[in-house]
Structure 1
Amino acid sequence: MRYVTLTDVFVHPIAQKYLKRSGLAHAIAVAYHAYRLALHHGVNADLATKAALLHDIGHYTWYKNGRWDYEQYKQNDIHAIKGAERAHKLLIRLGEHPQNAKEIALAILLHTDSYLPDGEWKRKPLQSIVKWADEADEEPGGRHHYRTISDDLAFKKISQLDELVDRHLGKKRLDDII
C-alpha cells in the first residue's frame, strides 16, 4: 500500500525548495533510474523512487569567491546526513508509514560515500539502488545538479512515474481504499 505518492512529495513546499536547490532535473532522472533498478533487483519501487527523488535535498552550496567550488564540496560535504533528516521529517508530515520513512531516510543517508570514514560498508538492497541510480546520472564536476527542467514538465514526469509505480505494485493509495 502506498501512503504517499511522489506527487504528494513533489508539490510540498519543503520538497520544492530543496529539490530545486539540489537540482530538480537530476532528482527526477535518479528517481527514474531507481525505478528501473528496483524492478530489476526486486526492491520496493515505491520506496526506491521516493528515496531517489529526495536523495540530495540536504545539499548545501559551496562557493568560493562567488563561484561554485566543487573541490570544497567534495572535501566538506555531509548532504546525505541533512537530507536523510529532512526527508524523514517531510515524509512523516505527509503521512508516510513510519517504517517506510525510516527506510527511505537510511537509503538517502547511505547513497554516497563522500562523508563516510574509510572502510567497507554493506548496504541493504534499497540503499544500493539509490546509490547506483545517483551514479547513473552523475556528470563531471557536479554539473548534473545544474541541469534545468520546467515546473510543468517536472510535475508531468513525476506523475508519470507515480503511474508506473502504481501499476507495478498493483495497489491503490490509502486514500483510495478509505
Structure 2
Amino acid sequence: MRYVTLVQLFDHPITQKFVKRSGMAHAVACAYHAFRLAKVHHVDPDMATKAAFLHDIGHYTWYRDGQWDYQLYKEYDIHAIKGAERAHKLLIRLGEHPRIAKEIALAILLHTDSYLPEGELELKPLQYVVALADEADEEPGGEHHYRTISDERARHLLGELDKKVEGDI
C-alpha cells in the first residue's frame, strides 16, 4: 500500500520551493532512473522513486557576488543532511508511514559522499539505487540543476510514474 504519491509530493509547497531550487527536471529524471534501477537491484520502487525525486530538497544556493559559485557549493554544501531532515518532515506531514519516511530520509542522507570524510561507506540497496539515479542524470559543473521543465509536464510525468509504481507493487 502506498501512503503518499509522487504527485502529492510535487503539489506540496515545500517541494515546490525547495525541489525547484535544485532543479525539478533533474528530480523528475532521477525518479525515473530510480524506478528502472529499483527493478535491477530488487528495491521497493515506491521508496526509490520518492527518495530520488526528493534527493536534492536540501540544497542551499551558494552565490558569490550575485553569481552561482560551484566551488563554494563543492567545498561547503551539506544539502544531503538538510534534505534528509526536510524530506522526512514533509513525508510525515503528508501521511507517509514513519518507517518508509525514515528509509527515504536515510537514502537522501547518503545519496552523495561529497560531505563525508574519506573512506568507504557500505550503502543499503535503496541508498545505492538513489545514488546511482543521481549519478545517471548528472552533468559536469552541476549543469543538471539548471535544466527546466514546466510544472504541467513535471506533474504529468510524475503521474505516469505513479501509475508505473502502482502496477509494480
Query: TM-score with structure 2 length normalisation?
Result: 0.99
Aligned partners of 1:97, 1:117: CA distance in 2, in Å? 32
Aligned partners of 2:80, 2:71: CA distance in 1, in Å? 17
Paired residue for 2:113?
113
Where has structure 1 moved over 6 Å in runs of 4 or more? none
Paired residue for 1:19?
19
- Partner secondary structure for residue 96 of structure 1: coil
Aligned partners of 1:35, 1:103: CA distance in 2, in Å? 16
Paired residue for 2:54?
54
Quote the RMSD (CA, aligned, Å).
0.5
Cα shift at 1:18: 0.7
Aligned partners of 2:16, 2:63: CA distance in 1, in Å? 22
Aligned partners of 2:128, 2:68: CA distance in 1, in Å? 28
Aligned partners of 2:68, 2:8: CA distance in 1, in Å? 31
Q: Which amino acid aligns with 2:156?
A: K
Aligned partners of 2:57, 2:111: CA distance in 1, in Å? 12
- Partner secondary structure for residue 118 of structure 1: coil
- Partner secondary structure for residue 60 of structure 2: coil
Paired residue for 1:10?
10
- Partner secondary structure for residue 115 of structure 1: coil
- Partner secondary structure for residue 120 of structure 1: coil
Identity %: 70
Cα shift at 1:127: 0.2
Aligned partners of 2:53, 2:68: CA distance in 1, in Å? 23
Aligned partners of 2:120, 2:39: CA distance in 1, in Å? 26
Alignment of structure 1 residues 117-132 onto 2, 5 Å: 117-132=117-132
Aligned partners of 1:151, 1:76: CA distance in 2, in Å? 30
Q: Which amino acid aligns with 2:161?
A: L
Paired residue for 1:39?
39
- Partner secondary structure for residue 121 of structure 1: coil
Q: Which amino acid aligns with 1:128?
A: Y
Q: Which amino acid aligns with 2:146?
A: Y
Alignment deviations for residues 79-113 of structure 1 (CA, whole Å, 9 cap, x no partner): 00000000000000000000000000000000000
Structure 2 unaligned spans of 5+:
none
- Partner secondary structure for residue 149 of structure 2: coil
Q: Which has the larger radius of gyration?
A: 1
Aligned partners of 1:10, 1:20: CA distance in 2, in Å? 10
Paired residue for 1:80?
80
Paired residue for 1:176?
none
Structure 1 unaligned spans of 5+:
170-178
Cα shift at 1:119: 1.1
Cα shift at 1:118: 1.0
Paired residue for 1:156?
156
Aligned partners of 1:166, 1:31: CA distance in 2, in Å? 14
Q: Which amino acid aligns with 2:7?
A: T
